[in-house]
């Protein structure tokens, strides 16, 4: 379907709070505790905050989340409420929340847990270790990019494996952003980084115009001989649906961007059909139920037992091919 023979999805939705953020959070919260912090803070599009709230509670630290008003998917807000975090909503996007947290951390001495925290990035290296453990070194790793912490961490981990002599080559990294929030993709192709002031995409997790680690992300792409692509919301939704209906894997839109990116890279001849590719799917579909509910479905409502039985019979006995790409 994507034009590549060997594509693996590294599914991060099975981490304890449903996204890759737990990898770094367990390390960083342990450090916060060790350093004697009483409260921890982060700006977030929803996944960092869910993860931070869960791990902070377990450690007995107070979680303070700074989030863009109306910018966080409902599954992630539900987690914040469940874990009993203090939620500060700002009238603006993630970039404003991030600025606020940097100031808060300086003035109020609460421990910041965004990816400016080096322990977060240390913990997130394990995604690369697991890929290499299971598959060896792929030709490409496709990764969705927002604040660019994860791409930085992935590459640091892989380079350290190389320095330790545990692997003998490195993959090329494909950075994927949404069309409406793509400062790193633009910088990669134009040779000049300009923060994006107004951002818009269905992939709310990566709706970021001023990524903290933009410079490091560009370095990763250069060092790895990789590439950077922007994908449209339509391409993201199509990839989300394809992954769900062809593989039974439910991912949130930001995660589907990495799959959409692979398709685009194959179409453009950047990735070759015989290359071994891993796409990192960073978070679960349950994080963003609204995006899932946006897809079409056959919905037979208010049936009695007999009508339901008839409908099921029809479905079982017809010869319609329901593999993805045939009927849907």
Minimum Å gap between C-beta 67 and ligand F0G is 8
Near ligand F0G by CB under 6 A: residue from 77, 181, 206, 243: 206
150 binds ligand F0G (CB under 6 A): yes
Near ligand F0G by CB under 6 A: residue from 15, 48, 182, 227: 48
d(CA 326, CA 48) in angstroms, rounded, equals: 38
142 binds ligand F0G (CB under 6 A): no
- Binding window for ligand F0G (CB under 6 A); candidates: 138-146, 191-199, 290-298, 319-327: 138-146
Of 148 and 306, the one with the shorter C-beta distance to ligand F0G is 148
Contact assessment for residue 100 and residue 215, using Cβ atoms and an 8 Å cutoff = no
115 binds ligand F0G (CB under 6 A): yes
Of 2 and 44, the one with the shorter C-beta distance to ligand F0G is 44
Output phi, psi for 208, to 5 deg: -135, 130
45 binds ligand F0G (CB under 6 A): yes
205 binds ligand F0G (CB under 6 A): yes
Contact assessment for residue 316 and residue 47, using Cβ atoms and an 8 Å cutoff = no
41 binds ligand F0G (CB under 6 A): no
209 binds ligand F0G (CB under 6 A): no
Using the 8-state DSSP alphabet, how is residue 284 labeled?
A: B
Minimum Å gap between C-beta 19 and ligand F0G is 5
d(CA 36, CA 111) in angstroms, rounded, equals: 9
Minimum Å gap between C-beta 231 and ligand F0G is 13
46 binds ligand F0G (CB under 6 A): yes
19 binds ligand F0G (CB under 6 A): yes
d(CA 235, CA 179) in angstroms, rounded, equals: 10
Contact assessment for residue 158 and residue 147, using Cβ atoms and an 8 Å cutoff = no
Our CA angle for 71, 155, 140, nearest 5°, is 90
Q: How far is CA 23 from CA 31, 130, 132, in A?
A: 14, 12, 16
d(CA 256, CA 174) in angstroms, rounded, equals: 14
255 binds ligand F0G (CB under 6 A): yes
- Binding window for ligand F0G (CB under 6 A); candidates: 43-51, 58-66, 238-246, 296-304: 43-51
d(CA 328, CA 157) in angstroms, rounded, equals: 40
Of 28 and 151, the one with the shorter C-beta distance to ligand F0G is 151
Residues that contact ligand F0G, how many (by CB under 6 A): 22
d(CA 323, CA 125) in angstroms, rounded, equals: 36
79 binds ligand F0G (CB under 6 A): no
- CA proximity to 114, closest of 9, 240, 213, 191: 213
Q: Where on the chain is the footprint of ligand F0G (CB under 6 A)? A: 19, 44-48, 115, 144-151, 205-206, 252, 254-255, 282-283
């Amino acid at each position: 379907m994507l034009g590549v023979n060997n594509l693996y999805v590294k599914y991060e939705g099975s981490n304890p709070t449903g996204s890759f953020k737990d990898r770094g959070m367990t390390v960083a919260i342990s450090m916060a505790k060790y350093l004697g912090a009483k409260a921890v803070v982060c700006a977030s599009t929803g996944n960092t905050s869910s993860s931070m709230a869960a791990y902070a509670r377990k450690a007995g630290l107070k979680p303070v989340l700074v989030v863009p008003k109306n910018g966080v998917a409902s599954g992630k807000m539900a987690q914040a409420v469940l874990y009993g975090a203090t939620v500060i909503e700002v009238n603006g996007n993630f970039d404003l929340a991030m600025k606020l947290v940097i100031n808060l951390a300086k003035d109020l001495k609460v421990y910041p847990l965004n990816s400016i925290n080096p322990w977060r990035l240390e913990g997130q290296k394990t995604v690369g270790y697991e890929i290499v453990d299971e598959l060896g070194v792929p030709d490409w790793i496709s990764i969705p990019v927002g604040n660019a912490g994860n791409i930085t961490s992935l590459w640091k981990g892989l380079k350290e494996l190389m320095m330790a002599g545990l692997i003998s080559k490195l993959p090329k990294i494909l950075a994927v952003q949404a069309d409406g929030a793509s400062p790193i993709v633009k910088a990669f192709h134009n040779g000049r980084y300009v923060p994006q002031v107004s951002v818009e995409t269905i992939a709310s997790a990566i709706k970021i115009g001023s990524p903290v680690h933009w410079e490091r992300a560009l370095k990763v792409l250069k060092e790895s001989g990789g590439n950077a692509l922007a994908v449209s919301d339509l391409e993201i939704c199509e990839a989300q649906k394809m992954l769900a209906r062809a593989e039974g894997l439910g991912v949130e839109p930001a995660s589907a961007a990495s799959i959409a990116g692979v398709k685009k890279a194959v179409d453009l001849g950047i990735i070759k059909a015989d290359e071994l590719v891993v796409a990192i799917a960073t978070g679960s579909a349950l994080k963003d139920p609204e995006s899932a509910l946006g897809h079409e479905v056959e919905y037979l409502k208010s049936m009695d037992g007999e009508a339901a039985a008839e409908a099921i019979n029809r479905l079982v006995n017809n010869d319609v091919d329901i593999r993805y790409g045939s009927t849907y």
